[in-house]
Each structure stands twice: as structure tokens, then as C-alpha cells.
Amino acid sequence: MSTSTAGPVHLKRILDLRLLILFGLTFVGPTAPFPMFGIVSSMSHGHMALAYALAMVCMSLTAFSYGRMATVFPNAGSAYTYAQQTLHPLLGFLAGWVMLLDYVLIPLMSVIYLALTAQRFFPAVPQAVWLIVFSLSITVMNLFGLRVANRVNFAMTAIMMGVVVWFVAMAVRALQGGAGAGVLLSTRPFYDPATFSMARVFSATSVAAYSYLGFDGISTLAEDARDPKRDIGRATVLVCLCCGFLFILQAYLGQLAWPDFTTYPNTETAFLDVARSVGGQQLMLFVSVALVVAGVASAVTGQASASRLLYGMGRDRLLPSLFAYIHPKYSTPTYGVLLMGAVTLGCAFLLSFQLAAEAINFGALLGFMCVNLSVISQFYVRDYQRTGWSFVSNLVLPALGFAVCLLIFVNLSRTATVIGCVWITTGFAYIGLRTRGFRSSVPMPSFTD
């Protein structure tokens, strides 16, 4: 493993497969479709379950590619390292740069949503106060290391799963009692000939993919894992599949419980109305609590992943070396955590929840495409593994993963594209200055396990 430029202090290998899965589940969030329900349902014209199924296919293929690359490059750089080592140093930097946008926006969105929710319950407290409270709390948790964060993650994931189970039970009971569509088995959430539009479904899939973001964050913990070559890939794929099952189930039952997507009182909070229709005011209240818990969980894990991506890029001299500093007691990339906390707090006063939501998939999908290409480059081209199952795993599956990510990418909103292009342009300008107008090579240290 490469050493930190600040000294002989490394990230501590404390995470086993169970803890990696817990981190991934907490990052993605079992309740991720709750806040997206009305948006995805309306965009897909009532085909939310299909949109989430298609998004799961895309994410699962990419999760498999992450697992393949982690067996060769088990370090904290994730997509940045994979593209750097197998494609080109410049592509590696840009992959890390666009993924950084993803990891910046995830905790940012969570903090904004938490502040908005808290203000609804305590309107006398200004939103600015909540932004500061949540930003500082999340940063402090990450400064004290993953042992502390994992204890918090376990409690938060248990709460979210409890609410999901409660909603499923209430929705099944309500449908059996004649509520909503009045049936428990139906193809309408996947295909309704009266409203089906493939273009609308693909557009909704690009938004539904946001709910899965976070499975890739597991790979940034490779240097925190006890056996990264074995466990990173397993945890990534398992988290993606488990969350996919939960998301499709929630979308399916929610669509049947409220089959007319044109009648939501408020699209952005539609799931609260669905929860109240099947479980009354009490379930709606607990769903609100779960959304707050999910916001905290996503912000904590998102900030942890971002700080480790900064650590990898700082250690490789693509970013200032101070980001490679590891706290000797808490084993945390201290300056990366502090920077992410400052960025989250500052941007929370400048950006809206919707604007951040539209932009978040840009960086993620570009990073995913780089990871899929890295598998082809490393295993199919360089290692010449092309026979039998190797042909499928090293060419067919990553090529499909790339194609599906590209299909979703071209259906992103114009706002997301503009923000993403500005971010990439900034990255090009930075690396151009860093390499004196590309006259010197992009830093690329040799990788050692």
C-alpha cells in the first residue's frame, strides 16, 4: 500500500464484510425512494417500479465492475485509481474529479433536506441555524473515525429498516382491504399500456439511479477494510442487489396504494400522503422521522467517502498533500473531512435541494462509465483473459454496464449537464495549471499493494 506523504500513519483496517455492507446500506439508505417517490412516479407516468428495476440493472452491472477492480487495486482512490492505472492518468484525475462532485453533493443534499425538515417541526428556529448544526454534527462524527460512525450507522439503519417493514406491512393490508388499486398482484407499476412511454421511463430512470448512489462509496474504504480484495466486491454487489429489491418493493406497493400519479397533493412530499393513506397519521410521522435519519446517515457516509477520495488524490500529488494526512489516533483523513464540512456548510446557503438533486448523477454516471471501461482495459486487454466466463465478466458485462450508464446519462436534465460541464471545465483548468499547460505529465505514482 502507498504511504501517506505526511508520515508513516495509515488508515486502519477495521472493517469486515459485515461492516462494509452496513456502511453501504447506510450510505444508500433503505428509505432512499421515499423522497423521490412523487418525482419518479410522475416522470415515468406511473411506472416507478420499472424505473427502479432498470436503474438496479445499471447499478448492479457497475457494482460488479467495482468488485473486479477492487481485487487488483484495493486502495482508497476508487474510480480515480482504477481509471488512472488502467486507462490514462488524465482520465484518472477526471474520474476522481467528477466522482468528487457526487460525494460533495450527497452530504450537501442531506444537510439541506434535514434543515428544511427540522424547520417544519420548529418554525421559530431559522433555517440557517439548522444548516450550521447539521453540518457541524456530521463533520464531528467523521473526525472521530469510522468506529464511532459505524455505531451511529447501525442505529440509523435499524430505524430506517423498521419504517420500511412497517410501510410494507401496512400497504399489503390496505391493498388486501380494497384500498388504492385494490389488488396485491398487478403489472401496472411495471407496464400500463394506457400511460407507458419508454422515453419517460428512461428519463425517470436517470432520477431513480440517484437512490442507488452510495454503493460505490464502499470502494473508497478499501484501505479501511481487513480483506479488501475479497470483501469490497462482495459488499458492493450485495448492497446494490439488496437495496434494489427494497426499492422496487416500495415503488410497487406505493404505486398500487396510490395508482393515479396525477393526484398527488404535493409531488415532492407525495410519499408522506401515500404513507398516511395506508397507515394513518402515525405511519406518516414515523416516515418523516425516517427521512431525517436517512439524511443524517447519507451525509455522514458521503462525507467519509469524499474525504477518502481526497486522501487518495492528495497522496498521489494530484491535490495538495495535506489531504493525505491521517490523524494518528482516530485514523481519519482530517483535512479532507474538514474541507467537506466547510464546503457542505457554505454551499448549503447557496444551492437548493432540487438543484443539487439534478446535478448529482452527472459525476456518478461518468465515474461509473470509467470503472466499466477500466475492467475491459485491465482484464480483457492487458491480462488477455478472454475465454469462457472471462469473456463475459471482462467484456460483455462491463460493456453492458457502460452502455446502460450512457443511456441514463444522455437522459439527464439540461441543468445537470450544465453544472457537470462547468465542474469538468474547472477540473481541466486545475490540472492544466498543475501540469504547466499539460507540458509535464499528470502525476501517476506506481501502485503497490
At 39, which CATH number?
1.20.1740.10
Q: Is residue 4 part of a domain?
A: no
**Per-residue pLDDT tens for 334-367?**
888 899 889 888 888 887 776 776 677 788 888 8
Q: Is residue 8 part of a domain?
A: no
Q: How much is the pLDDT for 257? A: 93
Q: Is residue 12 part of a domain?
A: no
Q: Is residue 448 part of a domain?
A: no
Q: How much is the pLDDT for 346? A: 87
Q: How much is the pLDDT for 445? A: 54
Q: Is residue 343 part of a domain?
A: yes
Q: How much is the pLDDT for 289? A: 84
Q: Is residue 230 part of a domain?
A: yes
Q: Is residue 337 part of a domain?
A: yes
The number of folded domains in the chain is 1
Domain that holds residue 71: 17-434
Going from the first residue of the chain to its last (449 residues), give the mean pLDDT of each consecutive group of 10, the final group possibly shorter.
46 76 82 87 92 90 88 74 86 84 81 79 86 89 70 78 93 91 90 89 83 77 79 87 93 93 82 90 86 80 80 81 82 86 86 72 85 94 90 94 86 81 89 80 56
Q: Is residue 93 part of a domain?
A: yes
3-state secondary structure the chain: CCCCCCCCCCCCCCECHHHHHHHHHHHHCCCCHHHHHHHHHHHCCCCHHHHHHHHHHHHHHHHHHHHHHHCCCCCCCCHHHHHHHHCCHHHHHHHHHHHHHHHHHHHHHHHHHHHHHHHHHCCCCCHHHHHHHHHHHHHHHHHCCHHHHHHHHHHHHHHHHHHHHHHHHHHHHHHHCCCCCCCCCCCCCCCCCCCCCHHHHHHHHHHHHHHHCCHHHHHHHCCCECCHHHHHHHHHHHHHHHHHHHHHHHHHHHHHHCCCHHHCCCHHHHHHHHHHHHHHHHHHHHHHHHHHHHHHHHHHHHHHHHHHHHHHHHHCCCCCHHHHCCCCCCCCCHHHHHHHHHHHHHHHCCCCHHHHHHHHHHHHHHHHHHHHHHHHHHHHHHCCCCCCHHHHHHHHHHHHHHHHHHHHHCCCCHHHHHHHHHHHHHHHHHHHHHCCCCCCCCCCCCCCC
